Chain A
């Protein structure tokens, strides 16, 4: 079935054969043959970005909201180096990307040619795998293998570096079978060890203070994994908390939902993690923003850890029952084995535990003092959430990085997976706006909102131009406090409130900026006008920069200071402490 074509044509053909509908890219000298091949076809639609970092985050948003790999095409040299942040972000958050980078001709490699850089050298540590293709006959295999590697096992970004002469060279195109791919060494384990899963269920059956601690692995394992998580939670009656990456896998409207855990997680989730006797970690990786002080992390629990990446297990926290496998397959097995053992949830046995959890819940750790005169950022997100609930459209949320991101995670609630896109592992400011563009490309009829800060959003603001060009009606909801709020909060905590460069001076007029790009700008400064302004934003059929002037020095609470265990969480001064906290705890509040 081999067909003769150029390397550049092979790239387009392989994308089409992989079912790719959209790619995000930016042309340049070394990439021109591929762009020329693209010009002569209509199977793959190209979205022209304004900066290659934007392309990578768009591809991430696209991938996370669809479950399909995001595809990026950039030129050599600066095109490739600009993509590095997004590749690293995708690696940290396990997002499937295929990034095609053009390279100078093979004869020029190593001569410091114009727009040459060592792309495979630079991206080796920020990709799951990468290739430099030096023979056109390797190209079909490499292209298809890249998709296989990016999307299977623990997903991640894969770079294919293609020199310009290889793009021009003619070879035989074929679509290889997975079995004949070169890397026989790459065989991710997807089925969990049955004995270990049985041991896990037996632990769960004896648990008195259990908790499900779920993560991005559940989302990556597909929508069935979320369904199975819901079923297992219902079967067992156990409480469920999730990392930032896993929000939406379990519905926030469910009474078993405890809210997010970790540094800015709820009091009940963190206290339950600390005091539980059986912890069931499904697709999370004991990140340092979750564990707090490691030697004080959940000291009296038996821990079960399900992860598709063997290196995640026992990396940070020693666990009792490790299970290497795909979250969905393991959840299915857990449900089957639980059912074979009992027909009942452990309602009675864990009733005292739920009673304790209700006490913690009653503290109201996400409470804040609202104001009539100034918009509180938490309240703005709550109003946005209420307004979007009335919409008939699917709602997707992306964020930048900082306080607004944590407030969004706390106050915007998700009932479905793949509707929440945020930079968790790398913490990339500037992620949200391009990610929103990527989501909107994949879901043209959906409502896509980037909850942003005025500092983050300026890092990739140029992609507004992309949104306008492709008529993508993204809404950029900027919580403008004229501060890098999270940096300012840390400076209060650790550096004597010396605000070294953590404020935003000479801010642009976001309304005029939106208009300059050809979008719509809306500013809101008064709590009384917020609902109407949000309605105006949602009604506008086009990209909107929505500038909400909020309280400047609000702290993001609750917060577990680094180096502290979960039970030394700092609560807002509005928290209803009652008899929950002793004198020692009160001193921390």
Chain B
């Protein structure tokens, strides 16, 4: 009696994604309470969103507020969902898509350890100066630089250090804030 039932391939239908992904910086104002970071990160993994970078720290101690800056790569449709899903979390006050709003500044800090002697050492120092990197530790055969800027500036500096004896890098992830007098 089931002969008339046609095979269809799947119990779920799969649709092709037609939108291109974009990289956006979101600023999320949250209550600083235990588990808040797990809630945010858990939401991203549970719903299959990609986190490129994430920074979190308490920003207003008196009001127990933290600011999370998260860089995501997603389609425009998913970006809207990410914002709305984040806002659905009880301790989340506001979410701003800084990239969509357009007018903001962003900075990242990196600590970069470079090992070398002789010509390499001199070249390293010259480049560091050009990038306004500060030396925060030095030995006779190594430096630790502190460099601040947009992520692509840090990428360039790391790329230049690579042949000169790059040992390791630590980056803070992105911090971003809207321009002008208005706050979040």
Query: A residues bordering B, Cβ < 8 Å?
Result: 120-121, 124-125, 128-129, 132, 149, 182-186, 288, 292-295, 309-311, 313-315, 489-490, 492-494, 497, 553, 555, 561-564, 570, 573, 588-589
- Kindly provide the distance from the CB of A489 to the nearest chain B CB, expressed in whole angstroms: 8
B90's partner among A149, A294, A315, A564 (CB-CB below 8 A) is A149
- Among residues of B, the one whose C-beta sits closest to the C-beta of A561 is B8
30 contacts between A and B (CB under 8 A): A121-B38, A124-B38, A124-B39, A125-B42, A125-B46, A129-B90, A149-B90, A183-B31, A183-B90, A184-B93, A185-B30, A185-B31, A185-B92, A185-B93, A288-B13, A293-B13, A294-B15, A309-B88, A310-B87, A311-B87, A492-B2, A492-B5, A493-B5, A494-B7, A494-B8, A561-B6, A563-B10, A563-B13, A570-B5, A570-B6
A293: B residues at CB distance < 8 A: 13, 15
- Inter-chain contact B31/A494, CB cutoff 8 Å: no
CB neighbours (8 Å) of A315 from chain B are 81, 84
Using a Cβ cutoff of 8 Å, how many contacts connect chains A and B? 87
- Cα distance A492–B35 when bound, in Å? 46
* CA of A295 to CA of B77, assembled, Å: 15
**A188 to nearest B CB, angstroms?**
10
Interface SS of chain B: helix, strand, loop or mixed?
loop
A420 to B183 alpha-carbon distance, docked (Å): 48
Cα distance A289–B172 when bound, in Å? 44
Q: Which residue of B lies closest to A494 (CB)?
A: B7
- Taking CB atoms and an 8 Å cut-off, the chain B residues in 25-72 that contact chain A are 30-31, 34-35, 38-39, 42-43, 46
Known: A125-B46, A185-B31, A314-B80. A493 touches B7 (CB 8 A): yes
CB-CB under 8 A from A128, the residues of chain B are 90
- Taking CB as reference atom, which chain A residue is nearest B14? A563
Chain B 116-156: CB-based contact to A (< 8 A → 1; otherwise 0): 00000000000000000000000000000000000000000
In this assembly, does B173 line the interface, its C-beta being within 8 Å of a C-beta of chain A?
no
Interface size on B, residues (CB 8 A): 35
A141 to chain B minimum Cβ distance, whole angstroms, is 13
CB distance from A60 to the nearest CB of B (A): 21
Q: Does B9 contact A (CB under 8 A)?
A: yes
Q: Is the CB of A562 within 8 A of B13?
A: yes
A232 to B35, CA, bound (A): 44
Among A185, A313, A563, A570, the most chain B Cβ lie within 10 Å of the Cβ of: A185
Contact A311 B81 (CB under 8 A): yes
> B8 touching A563 by the CB < 8 A rule?
yes
Given the known inter-chain contacts A149-B90, A288-B13, A562-B11, please indicate yes or no for A497 contacting B6, CB distance below 8 A.
no
Q: Report the Cα distance A116→B134, complex, angstroms.
A: 49
Q: What distance in Å separates the Cβ of A228 from its nearest Cβ neighbour in chain B?
A: 26
When the two chains form their complex, are residues B91 and A183 in contact, meaning their CB atoms are under 8 A apart? Answer: yes
Q: Which of A124, A493, A562, A589 contacts B35 (CB 8 A)?
A: A124
Q: Which residue of chain A lies nearest to B30 when distances are taken between CB atoms in the complex? A: A185
Contacts of B84 in A (CB 8 A): 310-311, 313, 315
Interface pair B11/A494, CB less than 8 Å apart: yes
Is the C-beta of B1 less than 8 angstroms from some C-beta in chain A? yes
Q: Which residues of B contact A186 (CB under 8 A)?
A: 90
User: B residues within 8 A CB of A589?
Assistant: 4
Say whether B85 faces chain A, with CB atoms less than 8 Å apart.
Answer: yes
Complex CA gap A271/B6 in Å reads 20
- Report B-chain residues with C-beta under 8 Å of the C-beta of A553: 1-2
Bound-state CA distance A267–B15 (Å) is 24
Q: Measured between alpha carbons, how far is A490 from B10 in the docked complex, in Å?
A: 9
Q: Which residues of B contact A492 (CB under 8 A)?
A: 2, 5
Q: A298 CB to closest chain B CB, in angstroms? A: 15
A553 (CB) vs chain B CBs: closest residue = B1
B78 closest partner in A (C-beta): A315
Interface-central residue, B11, B12, B88, B89, by most chain A CB under 10 Å: B88
